Amino acid sequence: MDIYLDNSATTKPYKEVIDKMVYALSTDYANPSSLHRKGIEVEKNIKNIRQSIARTLGAKDKEIYFTSGGTEANNAIIRGVANLHKKRKNHIISTVIEHPSVLNTLKDLEEDGFEVTYLPVDTTGKIDIEAFKQAIKPSTCLVSIMHVNNEVGSIQPIQEIGKYLKSLNDKVYLHIDAVQSYSKINFKPSRYNIDFMSVSGHKFHGPKGIGFMYIKENNRLKPILTGGGQEIGIRSGTENTPGIYGLGEAVSIINKDLNSTIDKINSLKNSLKDEIERNIDDIKINSPEDGVCHILNVSFRGVKGEVLLHYLEQKGIYVSTGSACSSKKKGSHVLNEMNLAPVEIEGAIRFSLSDLNTEEDIKSVIPVLVESVNDLRMIMKRR
Ligand SMILES: Cc1ncc(COP(=O)(O)O)c(C=O)c1O
């Protein structure tokens, strides 16, 4: 048995993605900036990929900029916007449950003299829209909020936030970390009044080390990478052609019938949730009812999440205790902020699904999970 339920950490690349990357490495290896035929061919292919990505978002080609992934996109946007407005406005609004690539960037900016308001979340992992409105000051230059939380799957009210920011007299930019929402929620940034957005390829069966930023036309930022002026000067460095080709393929496959794919994943998540609730007692579902389609976070009281993870791994089932980035540290900052009891934080497991999972996977996982939780609870009691 080999059942992979850790798709929020990363996904298995589609076979077509790997084929495209091999083609880029073996055939389309020329530098897209080169003036000869081979370079021009690669440049044309990258242009087409940019266009197809833009189309999935109802955006313009020139609003898409390739990066090395979500971490770089978050850094480039937050630092780039903050540093551009530094002299006039130095206040940023974010939340307490952001990914470390946002939280640590903000911490760094605080050391540089920026003021950051971290909005709290309720027990369902959501911010309060009124508290958000209250947090805005004349010195606010940027609001940076994750669309979907990577540990519990809570969805923030981005549309309401965007609408409110648009109604203000003074421009406040809106950045969305969409790493866990692109391809899981069908949305268009312009309808949400989003100014900047970060996306990562390896979360939807693309390669690792590639992603993109959406930057609304005419919005500016101060680039963090300077060099040869690639990506219209916003992100210098020779293009990661294999990554871009692979990303383009993943984007085109996942968007073929996105609404059905989302429904399928959501239905798998509901089956998993129902079966866990029916078969295992003394649990707590930490993901909100109206959360994203692919994340189910559950606390098994009386069990250590990390021990359960390794127990399941021995039986060929791969899950996570929280986010891959924070799992080596103590306790989840997200579950802490959601006010979970220590015993619930300790016993938390994140199941995260993709379109490559099946109902059969869920059927196979349940008996193993039931047995594992029972075994571990017995062992804990005997101690
Ligand atoms: C919400 C969120 N933001 C950012 C990232 C970082 O993306 P990348 O791994 O492409 O650097 C992740 C990855 O775990 C994430 O889940």
From 221, 254, 287, the end of a domain falls on 254
CA of 170 to the centre of ligand 1 (A): 31
Q: What is the 3-state secondary structure (H, E, C) of 199-247?
A: EEHHHHCCCCCCEEEEECCCCCCCCCCCCCCCHHHCCCCCCCHHHHHHH
Residue with CA at minimum distance from ligand 1 atom 7: 70
Per-residue pLDDT tens digits for 28-71: 999 999 999 999 999 999 999 999 999 999 999 999 999 999 99
Tell me the best of 72, 77, 97, 180 to mutate to test the pocket of ligand 1, counting ligand atoms within 8 Å of each CB and taking the most. 180
Tell me if 191 sits within 8 A of 166, measured CB to CB: no
Asked whether residue 1 carries a pLDDT value surpassing 90, the answer given is no
Asked whether residue 329 carries a pLDDT value surpassing 60, the answer given is no
Per-residue pLDDT tens digits for 215-259: 999 999 999 999 999 999 999 999 999 999 999 999 999 999 999
CA of 202 to the centre of ligand 1 (A): 9
The predicted pLDDT at position 223 comes to 96
141 shares a domain with 201: yes
Classify residue 202 by its DSSP letter.
Answer: G
Token pair 């920026």 is found at: 114
| Residue 32 Cα to chain centre, angstroms | 29
Residue with CA at minimum distance from ligand 1 atom 16: 150
126 shares a domain with 19: yes
Adjacent-strand bridge partners of 350? 297, 320
**Tokens of residue 211, six digits:** 């992603």
CATH number for the domain harbouring residue 338? 3.90.1150.10
| Residue 49 Cα to chain centre, angstroms | 21
Residue with CA at minimum distance from ligand 1 atom 8: 70
Tell me if 322 sits within 8 A of 345, measured CB to CB: no
- pLDDT band at 177, cuts 50/70/90? very high
Tell me if 114 sits within 8 A of 108, measured CB to CB: no
Start-end of H helices in 280-322: 305-314
Give me the number of domains the chain comprises. Answer: 2
266 shares a domain with 223: no
Question: CA nearest 183: which of 269, 266, 244, 251?
Answer: 251
166 shares a domain with 293: no
Q: Which atom of ligand 1 is nearest to the CA of 98?
A: 1
Domain range holding 59?
A: 15-254
CA of 68 to the centre of ligand 1 (A): 11
Q: Are strands 283-285 and 295-300 parallel, antiparallel or unpaired?
A: antiparallel
Active site residue 141: no
**Distance between CA atoms of residues 343 and 346, nearest Å:** 5
Q: Please, what's the b/e burial string for 10-25 (b: 16 or more CB within 10 A of its CB; e: otherwise)? A: bbebbeebeebbebbe
CATH number for the domain harbouring residue 114? 3.40.640.10
The predicted pLDDT at position 322 comes to 65
Per-residue pLDDT tens digits for 95-109: 999 999 999 999 999
Residues with CB under 6 A from ligand 1: 69-71, 74, 99, 101, 146, 150, 177, 179-180, 200, 211, 323, 325
Question: Which of the two residues, 333 and 330, has the higher pLDDT score?
Answer: 333
From 205, 228, 254, the end of a domain falls on 254
Tell me the best of 98, 101, 151, 199 to mutate to test the pocket of ligand 1, counting ligand atoms within 8 Å of each CB and taking the most. 101
Asked whether residue 168 carries a pLDDT value surpassing 60, the answer given is yes
The predicted pLDDT at position 380 comes to 84
- pLDDT band at 330, cuts 50/70/90? low
- pLDDT band at 145, cuts 50/70/90? very high
Q: What is the mean pLDDT of residues 19-33?
A: 98
335 shares a domain with 207: no
- pLDDT band at 382, cuts 50/70/90? confident
Classify residue 13 by its DSSP letter.
Answer: P
CA of 9 to the centre of ligand 1 (A): 8
The predicted pLDDT at position 138 comes to 97
CA of 163 to the centre of ligand 1 (A): 26
Average pLDDT of every residue of the chain: 96
Tell me the best of 148, 200, 208 to mutate to test the pocket of ligand 1, counting ligand atoms within 8 Å of each CB and taking the most. 200
Question: Which of the two residues, 231 and 331, has the higher pLDDT score?
Answer: 231
The predicted pLDDT at position 381 comes to 82
123 shares a domain with 108: yes
161 shares a domain with 80: yes
Tell me if 358 sits within 8 A of 5, measured CB to CB: no
**Distance between CA atoms of residues 176 and 157, nearest Å:** 11
Q: Which atom of ligand 1 is nearest to the CA of 325?
A: 14
262 shares a domain with 223: no
CA of 166 to the centre of ligand 1 (A): 27
In the set 325, 356, 378, 379, the catalytic residue is 325
Per-residue pLDDT tens digits for 267-312: 999 999 999 999 999 999 999 999 999 999 999 999 999 999 999 9
320 shares a domain with 245: no
Tell me if 184 sits within 8 A of 265, measured CB to CB: yes
| Number of neighbouring beta carbons within 10 Å of residue 107 | 12
**Tokens of residue 310, six digits:** 């390794």
229 shares a domain with 163: yes
Q: Which atom of ligand 1 is nearest to the CA of 202?
A: 10
Question: Which of the two residues, 325 and 218, has the higher pLDDT score?
Answer: 218
362 shares a domain with 301: yes
From 198, 219, 254, the end of a domain falls on 254
33 shares a domain with 163: yes
Asked whether residue 143 carries a pLDDT value surpassing 80, the answer given is yes
Tell me if 70 sits within 8 A of 211, measured CB to CB: yes
Start-end of H helices in the chain: 15-26, 37-56, 70-85, 100-111, 129-135, 158-167, 241-254, 258-279, 305-314, 333-337, 342-346, 359-382
